[in-house]
Structure 1
Amino acid sequence: MVKKQFKITVEQIMTTLTWIVILGGWYTITKFEIVSKTLVPSPSKVFTSFINILKDGYSGDSIWIHLWASFQRLFTALGLAIVTAVPLGLLSGYYKKVRAIIDSVVEFYRPLPPLAYYTLLVLWLGIDNTSKVTMLYLAGFAPMYIACVSAVTKINQDYILSAKTLGATQNQVFFKIVLPACLPEIFVGLRTAVGVEYTTLVAAEMVAATSGIGWLVLDASKFLKADIMFVGILIMGITGILIDVVLRLIENKMVFWKGHV
């Protein structure tokens, strides 16, 4: 029986060394009190706080409730963005008249900071999850839409013309050529949208929220609980990486030809 050999690449070594340097620098700063421990808690203090939050929760709720609250808002908004941004982006890239209607609206609100219009969303939709999900949706819609439009415009027109020459209908061209060709960039837009929505999540949980990882970090900051803030930030970072890993796995399954053509 042949055993698989796992090779360690130079890139993996560099990544490992990078995190060793970061963690070593963090430990050194707190060990010699270069910065006040109130502002930068030690790794051991953060780890202890993490264990305590796992056991006792925060502000009366378990860490899983906070995670569920944030993920519910995040994935609801992401699902809405997928079912609207992908078809509209593909249609806008395929039909210039559709792009003329939608593109200018997206380009207008895309550069706006989320907090600039969040107060309006709260006034219009209330302080519950509806306004929060809407803001996350708007944050995720733009990058996904733009990625889809870009993907369509990059398709080799010879493929489309060849298919039409062979008698393919408009629907067949769209679903057999346009959509598969756009899948790699659609996933790039999806991963970008998740990142943008996750960064916007903290802003969404600033107003009238009593749960969520973003709210946990903001609430801890009011009482200068830097160790709790570090725990929340680390949880957000780690869960963000895990979400991206899952999206990569799905992409590898659906876009199995990527990198082989």
Structure 2
Amino acid sequence: MIVFLIYVAIFVASFFIVKFVARKTVTDYTSLKTVTFGDESAVTPNRVASVISVLTIFLLWGAFTGSKLVPGFLHAPGPFIGDATFSYTAEADDGTQDDATVTVRVFEVGTEVDAPDVEPGEGWAKNDAETVGAWRSGLIRVDQNDEKGRDQGHRVVAVNGEAIAPGGSVQTEFGRVGMSPKGTLNFEPAKGWQMEPIWLPAPEAVWARFLEIASEGFRGSTLWEHLGYSLMRVIVGFFFGALVGIPLGYAMGLSDWFRGWFDPIVEFMRPVPPLALIPLVIIWAGIGEVGKIILLFLAALWIMAIAARSGVSGVRISKVHAAYSLGASKPQIMRHVIMPNSLPEIFTGARVAMGVCWGTVVAAELVAAEKGAGMMIMVASKFQNTDIVIMGIILIGIIGFGIDILMRWAERVLVPWKGKG
């Protein structure tokens, strides 16, 4: 919630700052024209907003992981590390009470430290020393070195002068001191707002892991082989999905018989997530490459069929009548009217289908894959190598975004009439 509120605050502040600066320096008044629906040129991405958006994400990522790439004053409060102390009051069966102090050395996980040296004190309740890792918690058996143990009814009744009972807790400046149902104290150091590296590593840790895998590989294959296999599967599955889906969509858009025959099938399969088909695909095609490509083929097929059908159905009838009045034949209508006017919808469907295929390839590679980005993420997750998981997600996103940019460029080149009426 805190991260979300900070993100919203940065978004609002950036919007008004950029708009104020643009208002003072604007010289191109075409950017202020009224938006016309259907004319995509009226709204284009604000590059400044894009840059600020990406920087904000990395800033929040670094701030909440204690990254060295982010200035220290921007870091979110981190976990407590150092020597924490609190006192406890012990009581025996004879009604006597005594106070002692517990010193806990909180250390960074992965480093080795010794418990601090403390004087035992003069009373029957002796001072204690323990070690606990940051973001962790540890039991503290304060009765073990006391002169009056549990056989004499030893029990802790207060922490820092505040009464405590089994199942209760007391908040100190260094963290929370709780009591188990059996009366054993448990110390949990303050965690701050930063994420533990095992859940979210810093950006430089992910970058270091990327360099390591790029040079040494992962499970016997290079990083580029893993990404290449994923890309190959997506392209092949998408290709066959488009190869079957586009003609099917054209047939459904041009023939009422085809529309009636295939519409129930397409509309039934469209909302079924590709992941739900994994067991069936394994039964039909096994766990090899064919099964993975079939799953991606099915992920793209229905989207491309619906896009082609929508493109054909959206052609203005006035254009068809105009072509007929000029003496065009049905093949010429198809070639010069239907196909050009349906291409924008098909390109939009292709971009959506490619995104779905990229989202499905990870799941497809979870099943007995030896190479692939999805396999790499799956194996890393088993060993809680979060840096590899995040690295794989980022690489999949970058490649998917690159493919989308390439398809946008192809759309501008091949369909320059899109949005021109």
**Into which bin does the TM-score normalised by the smaller protein fall?**
over 0.9
1:153-176 per-residue CA deviation (whole Å, 9 max, x = no partner) reads 111101112222332211111111
Is the partner of 1:39 in helix, strand or coil?
A: coil
Tell me by how many angstroms 1:257 deviates: 2.1
CA RMSD of aligned residues (A): 1.7
Structure 2 equivalent of residue 21 of structure 1: 56
- Counterpart amino acid of residue 36 in structure 1: E
1:192-243 per-residue CA deviation (whole Å, 9 max, x = no partner) reads 0000111011111111111101111111100000000011001001000111
Structure 1 equivalent of residue 65 of structure 2: 30
The structure with the greater share of residues assigned to helix is: 1
Q: Distance in 2 between matches of 1:72 and 1:91?
A: 29
Q: Select which of 214, 221, 225 maps to 2:385.
A: 225
Greater Rg by CA: 2
Q: Is the 8 A contact 1:110 1:142 kept in 2?
A: yes
Alignment of 1:241-256 (within 5 A): 241-256=401-416
Structure 2 equivalent of residue 11 of structure 1: 46
Percent identical among aligned pairs is: 35
Is the partner of 1:61 in helix, strand or coil?
A: coil
The structure with the greater share of residues assigned to strand is: 2
Structure 2 equivalent of residue 152 of structure 1: 312
Structure 2 equivalent of residue 53 of structure 1: 213
Aligned length: 255
Q: Distance in 2 between matches of 1:109 and 1:186?
A: 19
Is the partner of 1:30 in helix, strand or coil?
A: coil
Structure 1 equivalent of residue 240 of structure 2: 80
Change (3 A) 1:124 1:245: same
Structure 1 equivalent of residue 267 of structure 2: 107
Q: Is the 8 A contact 1:69 1:212 kept in 2?
A: yes
Worse overlay, 186-195 or 68-77: 68-77
- Counterpart amino acid of residue 311 in structure 2: A
Q: Distance in 1 between matches of 2:46 and 2:320?
A: 39
1:51-102 per-residue CA deviation (whole Å, 9 max, x = no partner) reads 1111011111001110121111111111101211111111211112111111
Q: Distance in 2 between matches of 1:184 and 1:119?
A: 35
Tell me by how many angstroms 1:10 deviates: 8.0
Q: Distance in 2 between matches of 1:170 and 1:125?
A: 41
- Counterpart amino acid of residue 14 in structure 1: A
Is the partner of 1:127 in helix, strand or coil?
A: coil
* TM-score normalised by structure 1 residue count: 0.93
* TM-score normalised by structure 2 residue count: 0.59
2:239 aligned with 1:204: no
2:129 aligned with 1:94: no
Tell me by how many angstroms 1:260 deviates: 4.2
Q: Distance in 1 between matches of 2:273 and 2:310?
A: 23
Is the partner of 2:327 in helix, strand or coil?
A: coil
Q: Distance in 2 between matches of 1:64 and 1:207?
A: 20
